[in-house]
Amino acid sequence: MSRTSCLLLALLLLASIPGCGTRPRVERTMGEDPIEGGETYSQSVSFEADDAEAALRDAAALVRQREFGPAIIIHQRLYRDQAQPESIRARALLRWAEAEGHLLNPDRNVDAAIARVELMLEEFPDSELRFEAEDTLERLGSFRETDPR
């Protein structure tokens, strides 16, 4: 099992403990592979709207603890969940970019972070986070110019 899978599983287990964060909606599907004939299994995770706010708070706490990988996973899930309101998806995308480009993130990827902020501005042009996103974009641009990596 990959490290990312383990982290996601740990987050899901934590979320299932009463009083311990978000309540994800997990959908599991089993079927038969039409090509090879064996069993297939898939799983998707989404968050209820009320729980999305809690998930964003949990992710912010993870960033403060320098646990960027799990925070990014939460942001990815929230942004990709089309059932979420635009305000949640926009915030998740911006926070994902900030975690990805964070100076203390050992796997920092400033170019990807910039691309995500640009996507947020393009996909959610009327977002209340527009000015914050523009500031983040400017800050990340200065990181790219001075980053020795």
Q: What is the pLDDT of residues 44-80, one digit of tens each?
A: 555 554 588 888 998 999 899 998 988 999 999 999 9
Burial class (CB in 10 A: 0-12, 13-18, 19+), 50: exposed
Which residues make beta-bridge pairs with 29? Answer: 42
Model confidence at 142: pLDDT above 70: yes
pTM of the predicted protein model: 0.65
Model confidence at 94: pLDDT above 80: yes
Helix 110-123 / helix 130-146 crossing angle, nearest 10 deg: 160
State residue 117's pLDDT score.
Answer: 94
State residue 28's pLDDT score.
Answer: 64
pLDDT band at 89 (very low <50, low <70, confident <90, very high): very high
- What is the rounded radius of gyration, in angstroms, for the C-alpha atoms of the chain? 17
Average pLDDT, the chain: 79
Contact 58, 35 (CB under 8 A): no
